Structure 1
């Protein structure tokens, strides 16, 4: 009897151990499941440029940028290391692709898989093949390329829309886009630094010329402004060309409602007869027949313009390269200021100023890299920018 009693105690003891171990396993499993569920639901919402409420992960480590300008903005925010793929446009190596943000990041053209074509023509299958998968798709120009709502439905990845904006009439759109992207990738403070950088430089430009009398302002024209279709000839201009706005120059094309902003008639340019001409050197890529430089050198009508006769024709950095290069806009503005009002910009070393701009915006503070970008951009078309052109 005693023997049986001992066996019973031993059996009970074994059952107790098994029960305890089972309970422990169950608790661990339950805790693990709770943590996993918590991670899966750890999200936040933000409002994009279209007013859409988009749910994104609490912390975003991987993104892709679709559409013109979006990767440029991410680079301004020093968050380009979060990308895991690029559009086809980032893989082209040519003068047409001479964008400061790309030049500062050659890995864009070599280290990443392509997830779609240029201008937001995304490929959902290619996006879903990326490893790791992007947690957010940042997209500009929602009306072109792949529809953002459909893209989100097909991939299951949140799509955040931003506008491109500019530094002239649509500055608030630009600043809102920087803030939205900053919110996505956790770079809110950097977004404010970039916005302040733009505002401070624009304020400096305007302050320098605030007391210039109207009669002392020369009439100006800028030709060869690039468009979505690529390089353009001399008749392509910009009525709200920021370097003229920031230096309060008299842009002969400003306010003329009879012109098409993409193309001015030759007769209109001759009628305006500007005192000073600036030429966006991207026009050189049009070739011998259409290049603004060649037209000014060879067209008899253009050669009668007073700016050509006096030798007041100057080359400037590309204004539009896959949307606007805002750093180049600021650099062109300081060049315009020094050209039009040299005494007001006497203390500005244009080379150092341009290097400072590129260093801050696209080089993560690396001044040596900023100097490399400057040297490339100044000479990218063979004809140096920021100098009188040989007309």
Structure 2
């Protein structure tokens, strides 16, 4: 059984491709995001996705047939992003027949099942690296000719997203398409970073980013200097939790939030009805009910951790789609956070228009608003 766990990876290395070009079926060496050199016959035709939400990048490259190469995937997409899953299922009903593996509680899949699916490659997130190597499954898969390649959109996404998209573009034989996506992403990121640089000495609000608020009764999961924490920094804010969380993910106690008295609070959410039925989580995402999401967001501000803080008094409390933390679409989140933190500076930036353009140019499903909500 191959174990999926959230583990910190040791290093992130930019893409290095051995051989300038490759003809169909040619075996090339690809350096994955962890620095491993992996031999793969490209373009691959049969792929196992180590996480169902990897369809976010597959769809951006194989837009016409996003499931055409997928012969197996983990079963998390439906559970973690029910609204997104439903949108894809409506257009691609065949995805319901793709073999799934593993379980969200034990985080495992059957290696014999994986071999039986005859994949040309297995694409895994970096957090699975330690567990898979300790179990010796990379070597076992290699003995039957199945390479495993690591990518990263979660641990250090602002550093590794472009390289990860280029790796997948090489695997799929969609290198030009990957470069087109990377260019679009960089342009949209520059909309924020260039403007902030020109603004000079801008007052940066203190922001508390809560990870999956309301998912459980515990409070409060957050982000260190990476992922949403880094997005806050890029959007012109100060990530309150960076001082207390040394890695990408961690927890801040309620008393510290009150003591830090953040100017803004941003809570990540998604439709987690299959995980926590009727939970207090904020169900933002494609096609979400804004009024319902806002009411649940208001409910979360009544927890002890937010007693009397400036963000609640000023109603600068927001919810944002959780899945930005694990997809190549983080630039959308950066734009939206920048508008919340510096509304005058980014008044003309239309985040919905940016997200709609992403869908029109790269994704096979139509854009459905609902990814953000605010109390104010």
**TM-score, length of structure 2 as denominator length:** 0.71
Match of 2:333 in 1: 332
Bigger RCO of structures 1 and 2 (CA < 8 A, at least 6 apart): 2
Is the Cα–Cα contact under 8 Å of residues 46 and 53 in structure 1 kept in the other structure? yes
| Alignment RMSD (CA, Å) | 3.7
Match of 1:134 in 2: 119
Is the Cα–Cα contact under 8 Å of residues 204 and 237 in structure 2 kept in the other structure? yes
Q: Give the Cα–Cα distance (whole angstroms) in 2 for the partners of residues 342 and 259 of structure 1.
A: 30
Q: Give the Cα–Cα distance (whole angstroms) in 2 for the partners of residues 73 and 127 of structure 1.
A: 21
Is the Cα–Cα contact under 8 Å of residues 243 and 332 in structure 1 kept in the other structure? yes
Superposed displacement of residue 172, structure 1 = 4.2
Is the Cα–Cα contact under 8 Å of residues 356 and 370 in structure 1 kept in the other structure? no
Q: Give the Cα–Cα distance (whole angstroms) in 2 for the partners of residues 204 and 260 of structure 1.
A: 25
- Structure 1 residues 345, 59: CA separation in 2 closer, same or farther (over 3 Å shift)? closer
Superposed displacement of residue 270, structure 1 = 0.5
Structure 2 counterparts to residues 293-372 of structure 1, below 5 A: 293=297, 296-299=300-303, 302-319=306-323, 324-327=326-329, 329-363=330-364, 369-371=365-367
Tell whether 2:224 aligns with 1:239: yes
Deviations 1:209-247 (A, max 9, x none): 224454633222221347xxx768551112332431222
Structure 2 counterparts to residues 221-300 of structure 1, below 5 A: 221-225=208-212, 234-240=219-225, 241-256=229-244, 261-282=249-270, 293=297, 296-299=300-303
Match of 1:81 in 2: 68
Higher helix share: 1
3-state SS of paired residue (2:197)? coil
Deviations 1:183-231 (A, max 9, x none): 22211111212222221111111122224454633222221347xxx76
Superposed displacement of residue 116, structure 1 = 4.4
Unaligned runs of 5+ in 1: 1-40, 364-368, 379-384
Q: What count of residue pairs does the alignment treat as equivalent? A: 323
Q: Give the Cα–Cα distance (whole angstroms) in 1 for the partners of residues 252 and 271 of structure 2.
A: 15
Q: Give the Cα–Cα distance (whole angstroms) in 2 for the partners of residues 293 and 161 of structure 1.
A: 38
Structure 2 counterparts to residues 131-210 of structure 1, below 5 A: 133-140=118-125, 141-145=128-132, 147-153=136-142, 156-166=144-154, 169=156, 171-210=158-197
Q: Give the Cα–Cα distance (whole angstroms) in 2 for the partners of residues 220 and 125 of structure 1.
A: 46
Q: Give the Cα–Cα distance (whole angstroms) in 2 for the partners of residues 284 and 71 of structure 1.
A: 18
- One of 24, 29, 34 as aligned partner of 1:46: 29
Is the Cα–Cα contact under 8 Å of residues 247 and 333 in structure 1 kept in the other structure? yes
- Structure 1 residues 283, 239: CA separation in 2 closer, same or farther (over 3 Å shift)? farther
Which has the higher Rg, Structure 1 or Structure 2?
A: 1
Q: Give the Cα–Cα distance (whole angstroms) in 2 for the partners of residues 173 and 260 of structure 1.
A: 14
Superposed displacement of residue 129, structure 1 = 3.6
Match of 2:12 in 1: none
- Structure 1 residues 81, 110: CA separation in 2 closer, same or farther (over 3 Å shift)? same
Q: Give the Cα–Cα distance (whole angstroms) in 1 for the partners of residues 269 and 36 of structure 2.
A: 39
Is the Cα–Cα contact under 8 Å of residues 152 and 159 in structure 1 kept in the other structure? yes
Is the Cα–Cα contact under 8 Å of residues 278 and 313 in structure 1 kept in the other structure? yes
3-state SS of paired residue (1:344)? coil
Unaligned runs of 5+ in 2: 1-23, 283-295
Q: Give the Cα–Cα distance (whole angstroms) in 1 for the partners of residues 321 and 55 of structure 2.
A: 20
- Structure 1 residues 284, 275: CA separation in 2 closer, same or farther (over 3 Å shift)? farther
Q: Give the Cα–Cα distance (whole angstroms) in 2 for the partners of residues 61 and 259 of structure 1.
A: 36
- Structure 1 residues 301, 178: CA separation in 2 closer, same or farther (over 3 Å shift)? closer
Q: Give the Cα–Cα distance (whole angstroms) in 2 for the partners of residues 170 and 332 of structure 1.
A: 12
3-state SS of paired residue (2:165)? helix
3-state SS of paired residue (1:104)? helix
Q: Give the Cα–Cα distance (whole angstroms) in 2 for the partners of residues 169 and 340 of structure 1.
A: 23
Superposed displacement of residue 47, structure 1 = 2.6
Higher strand share: 2
**TM-score, length of structure 1 as denominator length:** 0.69
Superposed displacement of residue 65, structure 1 = 1.7
Q: Give the Cα–Cα distance (whole angstroms) in 2 for the partners of residues 370 and 346 of structure 1.
A: 25
Superposed displacement of residue 288, structure 1 = 5.8
